[in-house]
Amino acid sequence: MSDQLRELSALRCRVVAHPLGPGPAPGQVLRRAAGSDGLVCLLGSWAGGGAVLAAEPLLVLADGADPVAALGVQPRIESGAELAGVVGGGWFGWLSYDGPSRLAFYDHLLRYDGAAGWSFEALWSAERDALLQVRREELAELLEGPDAVRPWRAGQFSGPSLPDHLRAVERAVELVRAGELYQVNVCTRFGAPFAGSAQDLFADAAGALQPGFAAYVEAGDRAVASLSPELFLRRRGRGVVTSPIKGIWPRPDGDDVTSAQTLRSSAKDAAENVMIVDLMRNDLGRVCETGSVRAASLLDVEPHPGVWHLVSTVSGRLRDEVGDEELLRATFPPGSVTGAPKLRAIEAIGALESGPRGEYTGAIGFASPSWGLEFSVAIRTFQISGGRVELGVGGGVTADSVPMLEWSECLHKAAPLLGALGRSHAFPPGASATSAQLVGGVFETILVRDGVPLRLADHLARLDRSCHELYGFGVPADTSARVHAAMQKWDRLTVRVVVTPARRVNVMCTPAPAPRLASVGRIVRGRTGLWRHKWAVRNYLDAAEATATAAATEAGDAGDTVPLFVADDGTVLETSRGNVFLLGADGTLVTPPLRDDLLPGVTRRAILDLARDTGRGTELRPFTVEELAHTTAFWTSSLSGAVAIHAVDGTALPRRDDEIAALAALLLDPHRR
């Protein structure tokens, strides 16, 4: 223990609270306190509600010191000198998810209660008597002082490339499918130039959004302005509570009831929340009395700025020998921003995300020897330094996560925060479906080999996701049984399942055509729209196929022809029948990350799973026609597995037909998993 901490632990204090009467709103007092050393401001539900403002710390924890261990070092409160509900002082600051934390010990502060007004609270020691008397007078004068408003400006926010986040989400899904994780939180970061007063930014944004756990902490030229809605830990006496948030749905203006019901009925969001509740119960169980840990509430739908959230509460009673240090070591970082199992999720986050999170997804709050401990989860948090402001956003990824929807969730979370700054993100809105597509419904085609419907669960899961997203209902529970009932005694057959907006489910069985072995591609540029769903209406695709075949015939190209769709940015999308892969010289498989204009192919996913199982390298990245023209390529199909592309617009591609045929055989083998 350092000399500073020894001196702190040797202090003997009494808890004092001096009423100062009514005064300005907390945001105004924060602005007036500009220039104070180590300024901290907590607004919202902290310590029972109101505001806590602290400055001029007694000590700042040294760089490199263990912040969690420091939380266990407190001055002693003299017997009989306790005052119920008084914070008085303590450790305030942030615990970083990764990187340096910031903790400072304050032995006095201003406290605001909406009904009683302001008070000066302190952990009063004989050694600091004269100084604390001076500080009480200075803070009383601060409440009477003139208002001060300083300008600030945030530029236009931008972030990483969309493919980067889509790739990370899809890799996370891969880990879940492989059984390494149940859930993992994948985050990204928006940033903008910043100039002016960080504390005024915080005061303005907190005033606009009114979050439950707003927190502002200054540390030299760095500031953290958090607008978090989430309680990480609250300890009063031996009782401890955590309230993880998992599950989100937008709150459109004037449609609160419908959007809340949508979130309440979301099986995916409920499953995510319950997983984190189980994780937090396990974390608290390591330090709480046996049998005391319980879910006090489960899956409550709560309104927050711009969104609805699912919130649960877990409580327990700490064992007698457990202090704040042991509590934090058992629970930090918060489970809602890591995943389950936690240690493997943390490891995966380090590989999936492009850089450190810093304070974001850590914790912000205080540990007081008189009141107890309270920390928020550092989400909805602006990190300000070096002329930049950054905002991290993310979400939990599970086996059935859709990358573009995870990206949309990030935008929904960021929108009210950027709006409070008068800014928006620089990303275009998502694609939309046509009315004909929506009316026609969605479908799946499943190959049956030797009485086995290949990847039936994955096909029905994709169909179920589309139905929930597009129509607000899922695939009926008996759909799998209906598929099996429709199957006939042929060696190869197809089962087609169509679901319409009217909840009609049609299951049809026909003989399967022979697998396609090779094709030639004709480029079709500029396809737009929403193609993440397998639309039953194929008019556009059928027309593209007819045009491609006619062009190939006119050019004298021999072979089965498929249109090869290319986006406006020049990157290859897919064919009209399946996703496209490059086969690198070293055997690496390359395919574009999933986005709005790409179907999340079941066979595509099966290939990536197979590559993982066999140790083959894969890359999820965009590629151009020019790269395709010099590389072996194929497209995927539930009926054919993998189909070689021999040429594109008359340009022959390198051929490795035997390798592609071997891959197709594995994909079509009914005896593989």
Q: Per-residue pLDDT tens for 183-196?
A: 999 999 999 999 99
Q: Is 230 a catalytic residue?
A: yes
The pLDDT score that the predictor gives to residue 82 is 62
Distance spanning both ends of the chain, measured CA to CA? 56
CA 425 to chain CA centroid, nearest Å: 17
The pLDDT score that the predictor gives to residue 428 is 67
Same fold, 156-195+238-362+380-420 and 518-667: no
Q: Which of 240-254, 284-298, 391-405 has the lowest mean pLDDT?
A: 240-254
β-sheet bridge partners, residue 588: none
- Per-residue pLDDT tens for 495-538? 999 999 999 999 999 999 999 999 999 999 989 999 999 999 99
Q: How do the domains of the chain map onto residue ranges?
A: 3-152, 156-195+238-362+380-420, 435-511, 518-667
Mean pLDDT, range 140-149, rounded to an integer: 91
- Per-residue pLDDT tens for 75-98? 999 876 567 799 999 999 999 999
Please list, residue by residue across 39-68, b when 16 or more beta carbons sit within 10 angstroms of its beta carbon and e when fewer do: bbbbbbbbbeebbbbbbbbbbbbeeeeebb
Superfamily of 156-195+238-362+380-420 according to CATH: Anthranilate synthase (3.60.120.10)
Q: Residue 259 — pLDDT band, cuts 50, 70, 90?
A: confident
Q: Compute the C-alpha angle 13/81/215, nearest 5°.
A: 65
Phi, psi of 211 (to 5 degrees): -75, 165
pLDDT reading at 673 higher than 60: no
Mean pLDDT, range 477-486, rounded to an integer: 93
The pLDDT score that the predictor gives to residue 254 is 56
Q: Is 246 a catalytic residue?
A: yes
How many whole angstroms separate alpha carbon 264 and alpha carbon 260? 6
Active-site annotation holder among 56, 218, 246, 406? 246
CA–CA distance from 123 to each of 43, 61, 366 (Å)?
A: 21, 18, 14
Least Cα distance to 289 among 234, 238, 331, 235 occurs for 238
CATH of domain 435-511: 3.30.470.10
pLDDT reading at 326 higher than 80: yes
Domain 518-667 has CATH 3.20.10.10: yes
Active-site annotation holder among 230, 272, 374, 444? 230
Least Cα distance to 314 among 397, 232, 398, 396 occurs for 232
pLDDT reading at 596 higher than 80: yes
How many whole angstroms separate alpha carbon 170 and alpha carbon 179? 14
pLDDT, the chain, mean: 93
Nearest-10 crossing angle of helices 456-471, 479-486: 130
pTM for this structure? 0.92
pLDDT reading at 545 higher than 70: yes
- Per-residue pLDDT tens for 159-183? 877 889 999 999 999 999 999 999 9
Select the more confidently predicted residue: 592 or 256. Answer: 592
The pLDDT score that the predictor gives to residue 342 is 96
| 8 Å CB contact between 358 and 96 | yes
pLDDT reading at 256 higher than 70: no
- Per-residue pLDDT tens for 187-228? 999 999 999 999 999 999 999 999 999 999 999 999 999 999
The pLDDT score that the predictor gives to residue 49 is 94
Q: Which two tokens stand for residue 100?
A: 């340096």
List helix spans (H) across 286-433: 324-331, 342-352, 403-420
Least Cα distance to 206 among 420, 468, 51 occurs for 420
Q: Residue 266 — pLDDT band, cuts 50, 70, 90?
A: confident
| 8 Å CB contact between 169 and 406 | yes
How many whole angstroms separate alpha carbon 520 and alpha carbon 653? 10
